Amino acid sequence: MATETESQGDAAATGADAAPGGAEAVGMPQLDFTTFPNQIFWLVVTLVVIYLILSRVALPRIESVLNDRKSTITGDIARAEELKLQAEEAEAAYNQALADARAEAQTIIAEAKAEMQAELDAATAKADAEIAAKAAESERAIADIRAGAMQSVEEVAKATAAEIVSAMGGKSDAKAIDAAIAAQVKG
Amino acid sequence: MKKGTDDVATAEEEGGLVFHPMDQFIVKPLFGGDTVNWYTPTNVTLWMVIAILAITALLVLGTRGRAIVPSRVQSVAELAYGFVYKMVEDVAGKDGVKYFPYIMTLFMFIVFSNMLGLIPMSFTTTSHIAVTAVMAVAVFLAVTILGFVLHGMSFLKLFWISAAPLPLRPILALIEVISYFVRPVSHSIRLAGNMMAGHAVIKVFAAFAAVALISPLSILAITAIYALETLVSFIQAYVFAILTCVYLKDALHPHH
Mean pLDDT of A48-58: 94
B65-115 pLDDT, tens digit per residue, is: 888 888 899 999 999 999 999 999 999 989 999 999 999 999 999 999 999
Q: Give the B window 197-256 contacts with A, CB below 8 Å.
A: none
| DSSP letter, residue B23 | G
pLDDT given at position B1: 40
- ipTM here: 0.86
CB B100, CB B88: distance < 8 Å = yes
Is residue B104 a contact partner of residue B84, using CB atoms and an 8 Å limit?
Answer: yes
Instruction: Name the band, by pLDDT with cuts 50, 70 and 90, for residue A14.
Output: very low
Residue B5 to residue A25, Cβ atoms within 8 A: yes
Query: What's the DSSP call for residue A35?
Result: G
Chain B neighbours among A 124-163 (CB < 8 Å)? none
Smallest CA–CA distance, residue A19 to chain B, in Å, is 8
What average pLDDT does the segment A124-138 reach? Answer: 94
CA max distance for chain A: 206
- Using a CB-CB cut-off of 8 Å, the residues of chain A touching B130 are 5, 9, 30, 35-36, 39-40, 43
Q: For chain B, what's the residue count?
A: 256
- Extract long-range pairs of A177-181: CB within 8 Å, 24+ residues apart: A181/A154, A181/A157
Indicate yes or no: CB of B48 within 8 angstroms of CB of A54: no
| Chain B residues 162-191 within an 8 A CB cutoff of chain A | 184-185, 188-189
User: In the predicted model, is pLDDT for residue A132 greater than 90?
Assistant: yes
Instruction: Name the amino acid, one letter, at B253.
Output: H
Q: Measured between CB atoms, which of A37, A51, A72 is closest to B68?
A: A72
Q: Report, as an integer, the average pLDDT of B155-177.
A: 87
Mean pLDDT score of chain A: 83
What's the rounded Cα separation, in Å, for the pair B142 and B131?
A: 17
Domain that holds residue B66: 2-252
The answer to whether the beta carbons of residues B201 and B225 sit under 8 Å apart is: yes
Confidence (pLDDT) at B4: 46
Residue spans of the domains in chain A: they are: 141-186
CB atoms within 10 A of CB A180: 14
Contact A21 B45 (CB under 8 A): no
Nearest to A39 among B44, B138, B184 (CB): B44
Q: Does B142 touch chain A (CB under 8 A)?
A: no
In the structure, what pLDDT confidence band is assigned to residue A24 with cuts at 50, 70 and 90? very low
> What's the length of chain A?
187
Q: Render pLDDT for A75-109 as a digit per residue (tens, 0 to 9).
A: 999 999 999 999 999 999 999 999 999 999 999 99
CB contact under 8 A, A43 and B22: no
Higher-scoring residue by pLDDT: B84, A173: B84
Partner-chain contact B3 A5, CB within 8 Å: no
B60–A contact, CB cutoff 8 A: yes
Count of domains in chain B? Answer: 1
In this predicted structure, what is the pLDDT of residue A7? 42
B/e letters for B143-179, b = 16+ CB within 10 Å, e = fewer, are bbebbeeebeeebeebbbeeeeeeeebeeebeeeeee
- Whether residue B169 contacts residue B157, with contact meaning beta carbons closer than 8 Å, is answered with no
